[in-house]
Amino acid sequence: MTKKLQLPAEVVTLGDAIRWLREERGMTLRALAKKVNVTAPFLSDLEHNRRNTDKLTEIAKALHVDVAELQRLDGRLTADMKDWIAANPGIVALLKDIRASGRSAEELRSAFGRKRR
């Protein structure tokens, strides 16, 4: 069974998390790559946020974490999100306003949650 990730503050991206978790578990890049059937250079690119992957479930399993915990750190937009944003151009202006507000994602989620009740 997996539990909620407790990552250090400097771990902010999916690649950071994979590298940190791998190192915490004493795994080499090659060992993890072999477990998830990818090459070490591919995994290195992933850890440096230069690649996307469809192997996130396998990586999570190898690192003994819930895949949802890793997915929440993946800041890249999926194709369906890109399509949705393109079809709703007002979203870009909204995102700019949100960024300018200086509020964190957690603050915004909390405010949104209170409004939905």
Query: What DSSP letter does each residue of 51-108 carry, written as one string?
Result: ---S-HHHHHHHHTS-HHHHHTT--SPPHHHHHHHHH-THHHHHHHHHHHHT--HHHH
Residues 92-110: pLDDT tens digits? 899 899 889 998 878 888 8
pLDDT score for 117: 38
* C-alpha–C-alpha distance, residues 15 and 23, integer Å: 12
Does the domain spanning 14-71 belong to CATH 1.10.260.40?
yes
The per-residue pLDDT for range 25-84, each reduced to its tens digit, is 999 999 999 999 999 999 999 999 998 888 999 999 999 999 988 988 888 787 898 899
The full set of domain ranges for the chain reads 14-71, 79-116
The model scores a pTM over 0.85 = no
